Amino acid sequence: MYDIVLRNGRLIDPETRLDVIGDVAINNSAIVQVGKVDGTGQREIDATGLVIAPGFIDIHAHGQSLAADRMQAFDGVTTTLEFEIGSLPVGLWYEQQAQTTRLLNYGISVSWVAARIAVMTEQDINHPPLTLMGRSIGDRRWVDDVATDAQVGAITAMMEQGLREGGIGIGIPNAYLPGAGVKEVSQICSLAARYDVPTYTHISFSSNIDPRSSVEAYTRLIGYAGSTGAHMHICHFNSTSLMDIERCAELVRNAQAQGLRITVEAYPYGTASTVIGAPFFADPAFPQRTGQGYDALQRLDNGQHMTSREDVLRASAEKADNLVLWHFLDVESNQRHRDLLDMSVLYPGGIIASDAMPWTMPDGSIYMGDAWPLPDEAVAHPRSSGTFTRFLRVYMNERKAVSLMDAMAKCSWLPATIIEYAAPTMRRKGRLQVGCDADICVFDADTISDRAEFTAMNRPAVGVKYLLVNGQPVIEAGELVTSASAGQPVRGHYRA
């Protein structure tokens, strides 16, 4: 007898291209049979009319809390990973997560930001990644200064220790550290190449004009891949390219055709989000570089739009880690902007990743409670609630721009392939195959949809009927299992 049998669903495995009506049997935390299951299960779930697919893998999720996990569960996510910024010490981060309730599988990269802060300013780095950047902005040496040779040595030593503690690659949010030199970044990329792990890179510039344009930044990133051999994964391909997505995509395609290890991700929104203290907002040339006024920046805590650089500087001085929305594309009414977003979201071989923000309260603190539903006043970007379901609703159902099979590849299997050589556990995820982890999303392909809007950000998505994480139901019949705590750590292969 099996623990659970899912019956009569449409089985989708994006790696083998399996697409049949059948069953899935689960024992403990693993898939033990796919296809026709003759035996019975202690639990039998009728999936008639539903898709049975691998759970979605989000490699760019800043939430990393029970509240964030719960919202992402309704988005079909079973593994949520914080890779763009990362953390240090890595071992301590995993210890802290093990002491909390985690609904989904979780993991972390090694933080270049934290290493720079520790070495160049000696500030405490034991904070959540986004909070750390905001809290540390008062001493800007880590942001603005070129590191000495001795400092680079200390920074890379800290990061190497992070890899040995199980960090899954290196987070390189270059735009937040504009003073860092190319020599330092190249050393970090060489470290990643030596350990054979990816880097997760926020390109150095987001600008429509030279010098320091997005095109220059992509050319530099491609150069790192070629000169060091590092795998350069590009975070949020859509938001960092701004109006030059078409040219940036061409550069990436050419680099990939030459065999360079470059991968990309995007989320299906024309609005970004980050901390108000991000140095590129304070750039006096921000309007010229982005082609937008300061009113494109909207505070998350009170909904107000910025009106000037002085507004930005004042808000940053008050609380640099406050979150803001950055409306960089008008995808609701501008067809050209929609086309540009499509180039990133539908990029061949590219993946979907949310860049999900933490749920924050009116005072700017991160919500770490266990209330469900979330408190009405808890806010984040809608992508924290509905990235994957929005992609499926808009691109698969409404516009028919991607098939179910290819959509599942972008949401599950392809994300796993980006990191599985650095984290062997991922070879058992993103697939609906015997021997793989029972991280499974059972959903109604016709009704799956995001519900979150910028005026109502914490509405859970709909359409996911069952979500299993390591064989444990965390969503049943469309309802959250509030007692569930199924998440397990995902760690890199150089764990000490």
Q: What is the pLDDT of residues 37-90, one digit of tens each?
A: 999 999 999 999 999 999 999 999 999 999 999 999 999 999 999 999 999 999
- In the chain, what percentage of residues exceed pLDDT 70? 100
- Token duo for residue 137: 């902005």
First to last CA, the chain: 39
Q: Residue with structure tokens 């998505």?
A: 461
- Token duo for residue 481: 């299992």
- Per-residue pLDDT at 20 exceeds 90: yes
Q: What is the pLDDT of residue 75?
A: 98
Q: What is the pLDDT of residue 495?
A: 74
CB-based contact 66:102 (threshold 8 Å): yes
Instruction: Report CA-CA distances (Å) from 268 to 313, 353, 355, 394, 397.
Output: 29, 9, 11, 9, 14
Helix 66-74 / helix 383-391 crossing angle, nearest 10 deg: 20
Instruction: Kindly state the average pLDDT of the residues 232-256.
Output: 96
Instruction: Report CA-CA distances (Å) from 103 to 76, 97, 408.
Output: 12, 11, 21
Strands 170-173 and 198-202: parallel
CB-based contact 188:198 (threshold 8 Å): no
- Token duo for residue 356: 């999900």
pLDDT digits (tens, 9 = 90+) for 310-352: 999 999 999 998 899 999 999 989 999 999 999 999 999 999 9
Instruction: Report CA-CA distances (Å) from 38 to 7, 26, 42, 226, 433.
Output: 11, 13, 13, 52, 17
Q: What is the pLDDT of residue 204?
A: 96
Closest CA to 488 of 469, 474, 473: 469
- Indicate the pLDDT class of residue 496, thresholds 50, 70 and 90: low
Distance CA 103, CA 35 (A): 28
User: Hey, is 19 helix, strand or coil?
Assistant: strand
CB-based contact 108:86 (threshold 8 Å): yes
- Indicate the pLDDT class of residue 426, thresholds 50, 70 and 90: very high
Q: What is the pTM of this model?
A: 0.97
Q: What is the pLDDT of residue 378?
A: 96
Q: What is the pLDDT of residue 374?
A: 97
What average pLDDT does the chain have? 96
- Indicate the pLDDT class of residue 301, thresholds 50, 70 and 90: confident
The helices-and-strands tally (H runs, E runs) of the chain is 17, 20
Q: What is the pLDDT of residue 136?
A: 94
Instruction: Kindly state the average pLDDT of the residues 353-371.
Output: 94
Distance CA 392, CA 412 (A): 13
